[in-house]
Amino acid sequence: MVNRAESPIGLRVTLSRRYVRSTDVARDLTDPRALDGYVVTASARSALERLVDGLDAGSTQRAFRITGPYGSGKSSFALLLCRLLTAVDERANEIAKASGLAKGTAFAPHAVIFMSGRRTSFSGDLLAAVREQARMLGMDDIAAGAAKAGTDEDPGLRARSAIDLLDRLSRDTISADGRRTLLLVDEMGRYVEHAAANPRSEDPSVFQQLAERAGGRGGAPLAVIGVLHHRLAEYVAAMGGVIEAEWTRSADRYEEIAFGDSLEQTLHLVAGALEADPSHTRPVRDAARRLFEEAFQHGTLGGDPADVAAIAADLYPLHPAALATLTVAARRLGQNERSIFGFLQTLEPSGFQRFVQKM
Ligand SMILES: Nc1ncnc2c1ncn2[C@@H]1O[C@H](COP(=O)(O)OP(=O)(O)OP(=O)(O)O)[C@@H](O)[C@H]1O
Ligand SMILES: [Mg+2]
């Protein structure tokens, strides 16, 4: 029997706002608070370091794919990156600084064209995105060219036009205002799936052509980042034949930035998500630290004990055994961080919210 406490934990420990909804880059780009509570995980830090060099004007390889399992934080990272590249964004710069990068502004300013993958023609959507961006920048010729190319019946021609127009757009942008161009495609896998299933209406080599243009010999001031689930390669492999060969060739042109899902990363995310107000008392902090130290001694948790001891109090009231179990279950049966935050938010009978309201 659990006694209802007079002052339940739920009154003092709440979940930070950002975890209450999942990341939609297009929507969150204009929300100044969307990065509140963002935690720079080990994956995010190494991805930022890699991209500071990779997006540099001197780099000859500027096509990347960010891959990682469902819910591992890829879109949230894409949002941070967009904010770092496009605007003078205090919050994004603070986050980059805290991550150990000398300065958020180590990135050259970029005009970002963002696309969110759908099961439709990539070339068609790319032409629409180029047209929109050209219109915004007052480049009417390019906008008109993109509108015309969009009506082209031949998928090979449409793909080539899309990439040529993107190339022109990037050159005109740098001449007009000094910004380089980044094409960022979240859920790029959906476009690849569509191309794989519809070889007559989409030229599957479009992904390869795009990667070759970014950082290629032509010198367009262009970079491309695709965000994908790593399961995609397996999906395309099942299509066999030409598609499989095409995608393997294309995939090789994109340098991989892997988003991991270590236990330590999850603990940091959960610690960042739980907010204590007022802060925990000394006895609670000491007890939490002791519990996590014991968990390391018993082998319940792996990783760096000192690192986890530093955030032990922020994990209260979660027991180390609960966290270890939760992480494995979310990985094996669910969608990683998304399932963990689902558990933290839910009011279901065995969910975290129900627990903290009772205790
Ligand atoms: N570094 C982080 N800091 C704060 N919150 C994070 C971080 N990484 C992930 N999250 C949270 O975890 C959830 C899943 O993240 P996100 O949507 O970015 O994952 P994803 O890899 O894009 O998932 P999917 O593959 O399903 O598109 C979101 O609620 C997000 O707010
Ligand atoms: Mg996502």
pLDDT bin (cut points 50, 70, 90) of residue 1 is very low
What's the Cα-to-Cα distance from 66 to each of 47, 78, 185, 280, 326, rounded to whole Å?
Answer: 9, 9, 10, 37, 25
pLDDT at 279 over 60: yes
Instruction: Tell which one of 17, 21, 23 to mutate to probe ligand 1, the residue whose CB is within 8 A of the most ligand atoms.
Output: 23
List strand residue ranges (DSSP E) for 31-151, in order. Answer: 63-67, 110-116
Write the CB contacts of 268 (distance below 8 Å, at least 6 apart in sequence): 39, 41, 311
Q: Taking phi first (over 0 means left), then psi (-120 to 50 degrees means alpha), and beta for anything else, what does residue 271 get? A: alpha
| DSSP designation for 94 | H
- Average pLDDT in the chain: 87
Q: How far is the CA of 325 from the centre of ligand 2 (A)?
A: 24
Domains in the chain: ranges and CATH? 9-17+261-358 (no CATH), 23-258 (3.40.50)
Proximal ligand: closest to the CA of 337: 1
Q: How far is the CA of 24 from the centre of ligand 1 (A)?
A: 10
List strand residue ranges (DSSP E) for the chain, in order. Answer: 13-15, 63-67, 110-116, 180-186, 222-228, 255-258, 274-276
21 CA: nearest ligand 1 atom: 29
Structure pTM? 0.84
23 ligand 1 Cβ < 6 A: yes
265 ligand 1 Cβ < 6 A: no
What's the Cα-to-Cα distance from 229 to each of 69, 73, 136, 325, 331, rounded to whole Å?
Answer: 5, 11, 31, 24, 14
**Model confidence pLDDT, tens digit, residues 116-170:** 999 999 999 999 999 999 999 999 999 999 999 999 889 999 999 999 999 999 9
- 289 φ/ψ angles, rounded to the nearest 5 degrees: -60, -45
pLDDT of residue 102: 58
| DSSP designation for 261 | -
pLDDT bin (cut points 50, 70, 90) of residue 350 is confident
341 ligand 1 Cβ < 6 A: yes
Q: How far is the CA of 187 from the centre of ligand 1 (A)?
A: 13
pLDDT bin (cut points 50, 70, 90) of residue 24 is confident
pLDDT of residue 222: 96
pLDDT bin (cut points 50, 70, 90) of residue 87 is low
pLDDT at 266 over 70: yes
- Which range among 75-89, 176-190, 229-243, 257-271 has the greatest average pLDDT? 176-190
